[in-house]
Amino acid sequence: MQSLVAPKRNPFQRNYKIRDAISLAIYQEMERDPSIHLFGEGCGVKVHYDAPSIERDFPDRVHTLPISEDGNVNFAVGASLLGVKPVVDIITADFLYRAMDSICNTAAKLNVVRSEWPGSTIVIRAEFLTGGPTTGQRPEALFTHIPGLNVVIPSTPRDAYGLMRTVLDTPGVTVFFEDREISDDLHKETDQRIEGGIALGYALERRNGDIKPDCTVVTYGLMRQVTEQALDPMLNIDLLDLRSIYPIDWQAIKASVRRSGKLLIIEPDVQYGGVGAEIAATIAESQPGVRVKRLGGSRATISATPDQHRLMMPSAEEIVHAIASW
């Protein structure tokens, strides 16, 4: 059962290692590609704190825009028509609602309606916070419905770096999420090595069971870290970290489920109509007989208190119970 008391954490927590990995990837791509520009509300201030080297070395490519998320994305779309690769900082994921028209009706259609020009690259960056009711929302599933959008949610510095390098070097529009709730303390040393890009649509196997694992666990973002903390190292399971929720690595999921026959999907977003529902339906249709469970967030207005908000997402106790109660 879920704990009645959430663990105490700093409400202003930042996942500095993931943030720094993203900033390094952007810096290196800006060194290589002069067409990359940063846009956003207070962009110069944020870059000053997050990555002062970008502001120092590329001052002409860091642009502070007005408080208008929809207008700022449309501004980036216009810039992309002139050959610019915009990275648009929406700051918090909740502000994406104000930019839905420019993202879903304009940016996502660019590479379809203007085939006479080379494909555009646009990256829209946003962070998940905690505490509501108008902050702390996780709208990632909404964007998976829209043709023309990629949706990326890394859970480690290595993945954040590699995925950002990839999306800045690939035509397309990507909504790139960063989760402040992911703790710096639990990243393994191997996760922090900085290497090359990571292709979209490839899950990473965080744990690999034997030839017939007891269960396949599929998750992403914050829930990947919560799940790894919760599970006994001796459990015989496959643990897949999606890394991108569109495209999804169906091949990896199906291959693991063929071996285990059981699938548990864990997501931090609202469970109803979410990523987990899509995975559950697809696996149930393509592999009859597989036993499927889901854990996700509550479809409820978020509490203003961060600790109460965390209780609305799957807990370590619920994850352990779900695996033990097949």
- Nearest CA to 64 among 94, 92, 41? 41
Q: What is the pLDDT of residues 215-236, one digit of tens each?
A: 999 999 999 999 999 998 889 9
Whether the predicted pLDDT of 181 surpasses 90: no
Do 151 and 175 meet the contact criterion of CB atoms below 8 Å apart? yes
Whether the predicted pLDDT of 245 surpasses 70: yes
For the chain, helix (H) and strand (E) counts, in that order, are: 13, 12
If you average pLDDT over every residue of the chain, what do you get? Answer: 89
Q: Position of tokens 């859970």? A: 155
Cα–Cα dist 203/79, whole Å = 32
Question: How distant, in Å, are the alpha carbons of 128, 152, 255 from that of 170?
Answer: 24, 14, 28
Q: What is the CATH number of domain 204-324?
A: 3.40.50.920
* CB-count burial class (<10 Å; 0-12, 13-18, 19+) for 83: exposed
* CATH architecture, domain 16-192: 3-Layer(aba) Sandwich (3.40)
- Nearest CA to 157 among 191, 181, 129? 191
Confidence grade of residue 193 (pLDDT, cut at 50, 70, 90): low
Cα–Cα dist 46/23, whole Å = 11
Within its chain, how far is the Cα of 117 from the centroid?
29
The two structure tokens encoding residue 231:
């599970």
- Identify the weakest region by mean pLDDT among 144-148, 156-160, 191-195, 225-229: 191-195
Cα–Cα dist 214/236, whole Å = 6
Structural domain spans, the chain: 16-192, 204-324
106 conformational bin, left if phi > 0, alpha if psi -120 to 50, beta if neither: alpha
Mean pLDDT to the nearest integer, 168-181? 94
Indicate if 204-324 has the same CATH topology as 16-192.
yes
Q: Are β-strands 244-246 and 149-152 bridged in parallel, bridged antiparallel, or unpaired?
A: antiparallel
Q: What is the pLDDT of residues 264-319, one digit of tens each?
A: 999 999 999 999 999 999 999 999 999 999 999 999 999 888 888 888 999 999 99
- Nearest CA to 269 among 150, 98, 93, 95? 93
Cα dihedral: 175, 176, 179, 182 (round 10):
140
The two structure tokens encoding residue 56:
């120092």
Kindly give the interhelix angle for 222-230 and 316-324, rounded to the nearest 10 degrees. Answer: 60
Q: How many CA atoms lie within 13 A of 66 on its CB side?
A: 5
Mean pLDDT to the nearest integer, 113-126? 81
